Structure 1
Amino acid sequence: MRSIAMARRPGNPSRRFPDGGSKARSSPFLSIGLVVGALFLIGYSLNGSGGFGGNKEAVSRVEGDFSCTVEVQRAIPILKKAYGDSMHKVLHVGPDTCSVVSTLLKEEETEAWGVEPYDIEDADGNCKSLVHKGLVRVADIKFPLPYRAKSFSLVIVSDALDYLSPKYLNKTLPDLARVSADGLVIFAGYPGQQRAKVAEVSKFGRAAKLRSSSWWIRYFVQTSLEENEAAIKKFEQAATKRSYAPNCQIFHLKSYH
């Protein structure tokens, strides 16, 4: 479980003292206090701006703007190491899929498609172009996807299953596995990650239900989906080499055969 608590910003420990027309001698205790306060402020500033291992993702979690779709883009080099040839024909499912598809299309020998589960009226020109070309489509994932079985070598889903109740997960998750030939990768939020609740409800219809890894694993068993142990091992090895630490839960599942 990951969570980040907001820290109160410390006040400025330095104060001005009138010299009264002559040099005033400061107390040694005051000098020590000023030094300690300055060091504390420097440490706080570095930690908040990415120093000492801080990162933008950590800041975004606190502000309620966390996205596992952004995490997918970070993980693409690791996924390529883990899945190899299976990364040649990829379907991404989730909000802001245009950004993921655009990133994947820049990779050599990679074909990519996307499914946007929500409205994209405010999409930029690049996204509208992908929709026009048929590479990205808007579709309600509560219903069967308009693709034949095993249409894609790998299916990646992010920021979409967290918004589905078990009633709809029972239909959507098996369907995602159906259209994949070599595997299904799920990026899900950690319980405790903060989200913008008001914005979520207006866009997604409900707030995200961030579930634990044990809940997901039990659910995979119930739906007859097996974890892909070989892919998990390769992904972990590649992640270790690149010092990659995911900010989302990542599950590697086998396709239905």
Structure 2
Amino acid sequence: MGNECCFICGLQESGGYPISSCIIMSRRPTTARRPGDGGGIPFVGSFHSKSRPSKILTVGLMIVGALLVVSYVYRGPGGRNDLETFSRLEGVSCAFEVLSTLPFLKKAYGDSMRKVLHVGPDTCSVVSNLLKEDDTEAFGIEPYDLDEVDGNCKSLVRKGIVRVADIKFSLPYRAKSFSLVIVSDALDYLSPKYLNRTLPELARVAADGVVMLSGYPGQQKAKMAEASKFGRPAKFRSSSWWVRFFVQSSLEENEAAIKKFEQAAAKKSYKPGCQVFHLKAYQ
């Protein structure tokens, strides 16, 4: 009886160890195995091992399912959820911040939101959301080649609402063509040499002002594939760096718009995930 009790405990504790292990633990002499003993069944351990592949398979299916969901959301029609997913996966996305700041931009600029130009990656998504706003005309410039775009973006390009243009050179618009110009996720990839050309161009085509969104220093930078697409990795500069650059470029910050924007954001306890600068247009 003592040997049988030890054997049973051994099976419970070790999950199917051979009876010899139990004997060593008990230091008692062995007895003949009976056909009913679990230790005499050669495949007892195999029943336990079969549960491992099934667990691995379950985890694998869950991972594949999650990747499919992320892929669908990321490549789906342009919209706020797409940009939010992008911001979480890739690090910083100031294009998403554009949509988040719209209520506060309306408070700051009022009628100046009637004709808006957005410049930057994911402009199809931003423009699509701007067009949903009442009394707002929206246009966009995608500074890089469009790859694998959805039908909505193709339609915007076909209608001329969104254009693909190299922002390091003159923009394809006349002076003061838009009430407000909003730029995001684009200037962080330009060197000071090209910023000296691009930022004044944005101010030239704006009638009332330029809203510029830039990443904070220390934020996650673009992956290698993105750096290759943009020509160089993102360089997130401090607010003091940008202020000095504005002065050197004869661009003035719009103090009135800054105050209205900050007051509206404070009422909702909103803190932008990107730096937001408000510049006056050239007079």
Q: TM-score range by the shorter chain?
A: 0.7 to 0.9
Q: Is the 8 A contact 2:87 2:96 kept in 1?
A: no
* Counterpart in the other structure of 1:135: 161
Instruction: Calculate the TM-score normalised by the size of structure 2.
Output: 0.69
Q: Shift of the alpha carbon at 1:195?
A: 2.2
Q: What CA distance in whole angstroms lies between the structure 2 residues aligned with 1:242 and 1:90?
A: 24
The reply to whether residue 218 of structure 1 matches residue 244 of structure 2 is yes
The structure that has the greater radius of gyration is: 2
- Paired position in structure 2 for 1:114: 140
TM-score, length basis structure 1: 0.76
Q: How much does 1:135 deviate?
A: 0.4
Does the 8 Å CA contact 1:61/1:193 hold for their aligned counterparts? no
Give the structure 1 partner of residue 112 of structure 2: 86
| CA deviation after TM superposition for structure 1 residue 242, in Å | 1.8
Cα separation, partners in 2 of 1:138 and 1:59, compared to 1, 3 Å? closer
Structure richer in helix, relative to its length? 2
Structure 1 residue ranges without an equivalent (≥5) = 1-17, 19-56
Residue 103 of structure 1: aligned partner: 129
Looking at structure 2, the residues matched to 62 and 99 of structure 1 have their Cα atoms a distance apart, in angstroms, of 16
Is the 1:91–1:113 contact (alpha carbons within 8 Å) kept by the matching residues of 2? yes
Q: 1:201-224 deviations in whole A, cap 9, x for unaligned?
A: 222111001100000000000000
- Deviations 1:112-138 (CA, angstroms, capped at 9, x unpaired): 000000111311100010001110000
1:247 is matched with which residue?
273
Q: When the two structures are aligned, how many residues end up with a matched partner?
A: 204
2:272 corresponds to which letter in structure 1? P
Q: CA deviation at 1:89?
A: 0.3
Using the TM superposition, give the Cα deviation of residue 244 of structure 1 relative to its aligned residue in structure 2, in angstroms: 1.2
Deviations 1:149-176 (A, max 9, x none): 0000000000000000001000000000
Instruction: Quote the Cα distance in structure 2 between the aligned partners of 1:174 and 1:196.
Output: 25
The one-letter amino acid of 1:96's match is D
Contact 1:150 1:178 (8 Å CA) reproduced = yes
* Aligned partner letter, 1:65: G
| Distance (Å, rounded) in 1 between the aligned partners of 2:276 and 2:98 | 10
1:241 Cα offset (Å): 1.3
Pick from 213, 234, 242: which aligns with 1:187?
213
Q: Alpha carbon RMSD of aligned pairs, Å?
A: 2.0
The within-5 A match list for 1:147-226 is 147-226=173-252
Q: Is the 8 A contact 2:178 2:207 kept in 1?
A: yes
Q: Which runs of 5+ in 2 are unaligned?
A: 1-12, 14-82
Higher relative contact order (CA 8 A, sep 6+): 1
Contact in 2 for aligned 1:62/1:194 (Cα 8 Å): no
Equivalent residue, structure 2, for 1:234: 260
Q: Is the 8 A contact 2:222 2:234 kept in 1?
A: no
Take 1:227 and 1:233, find their aligned partners in 2: how far apart are those partners?
Answer: 11
